[in-house]
Amino acid sequence: MELNSIYTEIITEHNASPTNKHHIENPTATLKGVNPSCGDEIT
């Protein structure tokens, strides 16, 4: 298996089932932003 396809598989698996992504109750700070290169909104 090529290294490139391994990375693609890992990224695809993580995207389908991300770890450590959850709502944080009572955060001490919040931020919002936009990636100007692609327009993605970041929260």
Angstrom distance (rounded) from CA 12 to CA 10: 5
pLDDT recorded at residue 43: 79
Show the DSSP H helices in 1-43 as ranges. Answer: 3-16
pTM of the model: 0.42
pLDDT recorded at residue 32: 94
Please count the helices (runs of H) and the strands (runs of E) in the chain: 1, 2
Angstrom distance (rounded) from CA 41 to CA 2: 32
Query: Which structure tokens are listed for 12?
Result: 């695809």
**pLDDT tens, per residue, the chain with 43 residues:** 688 888 899 999 988 988 888 888 999 999 999 999 999 998 7
Q: Which of 20, 43, 19 is nearest to 33 (CA)?
A: 43
